[in-house]
């Protein structure tokens, strides 16, 4: 199925107790199973985009990123704390508006999102080998083994997997027992940081437009500024609880 197909026109989303957004219904219910189908919200992707940007010098292909996601914009607020999103054809990386991103998992093994995960995993390993002095080069297979074990443990514990969890586990991956030197990795210190100041992103998101500001109450989306603690603001966009 091509991303320009007419059937995927809208979806209705709700925020879960885990502060992630999940799809409640979708226009193309023949090709999509909405059971436990998550969608990446704009603030999450702002953070993801920062991490991707740090991989540019390691050969990140922006076209692979764009092709991996269907993009949606907010249309209206519905009853029951639901939000209706409509499909747009904007580039996720270049869009001026804040967009939701649904990974293209119509073909989970060989589709655009699978290609994207393979691509960013490779670039992350290249980055790690550049920034950390391993006795022997760290391999992609070693990274995949660690992540697969974590996914299996989460499954056994009954944890619901969200696309944002999967992405952050790759983009912030650091092997146990190692750390990225802050001086060498100034732009990617998210990998070892549990709290960051996202006040500038809060403003960008809330001020997208008068329409979207009205549709996205700060209390519902948890995008309003929390009480400051020692001049830091915890990331509230749905990043995984555990970071390595």
pLDDT in tens, 15-44: 999 999 999 999 998 999 999 999 999 999
Handedness of CA 6, 83, 208, 57 (dihedral sign): negative
Helices (H), the chain: 42-53, 62-67, 112-131, 140-156, 163-171, 199-206, 210-215, 218-221
Average pLDDT, the chain: 79
Q: In what order do the strands lie in the sheet with 38-39?
A: 38-39, 21-26, 10-15, 82-88, 69-78, 100-103
Report which of residues 195 and 79 the model is more confident about. Answer: 79
Q: At residue 206, does pLDDT exceed 60?
A: no
Question: Among all chains, which residue has been given the structure tokens 């076209």?
Answer: 63
Lowest mean pLDDT segment, chosen from 3-7, 34-38, 154-158, 198-202: 198-202
Q: At residue 236, does pLDDT exceed 70?
A: no
**Residues 116 and 82 sit within 8 Å (Cβ to Cβ):** no
First to last CA, the chain: 36
When pLDDT is averaged across residues 129-140 and rounded to a whole number, the result is 94
The confidence score (pLDDT) of residue 14 equals: 96
Report which of residues 203 and 60 the model is more confident about. Answer: 60
Which range has highest mean pLDDT (53-57, 91-95, 116-120, 176-180)? 116-120
Residues 6+ apart with CB under 8 A from 160: 18, 36
The confidence score (pLDDT) of residue 225 equals: 47
What are the structural domain ranges in the chain?
Answer: 10-221
């Amino acid at each position: 199925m091509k991303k320009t197909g007419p059937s995927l026109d809208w979806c209705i989303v709700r925020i879960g107790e885990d502060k992630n957004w999940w799809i409640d219904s979708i226009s193309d219910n023949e090709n999509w199973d909405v059971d436990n189908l998550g969608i990446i919200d704009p603030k999450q992707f702002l953070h993801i985009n920062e991490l991707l940007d740090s991989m540019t010098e390691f050969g990140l292909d922006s076209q692979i990123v764009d092709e991996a996601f269907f993009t949606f914009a907010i249309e209206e607020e519905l009853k029951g704390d639901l939000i209706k999103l409509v499909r747009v054809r904007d580039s996720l990386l270049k869009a001026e508006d804040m967009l939701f991103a649904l990974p293209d998992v119509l073909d989970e093994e060989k589709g655009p999102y699978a290609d994207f995960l393979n691509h960013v995993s490779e670039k992350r390993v290249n980055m790690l080998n550049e920034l950390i002095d391993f006795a022997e080069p760290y391999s992609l297979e070693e990274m995949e083994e660690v992540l697969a074990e974590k996914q299996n443990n989460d499954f056994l514990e009954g944890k619901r997997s969200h696309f944002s969890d999967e992405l952050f586990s790759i983009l912030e991956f650091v092997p146990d027992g190692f750390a990225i030197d802050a001086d060498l990795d100034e732009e990617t210190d998210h990998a070892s940081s549990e709290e960051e100041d996202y006040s500038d992103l809060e403003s960008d998101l809330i001020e997208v437009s008068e329409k979207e500001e009205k549709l996205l109450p700060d209390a519902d989306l948890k995008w309003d500024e929390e009480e400051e603690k020692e001049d830091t603001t915890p990331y509230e966009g749905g990043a995984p609880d555990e970071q390595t």
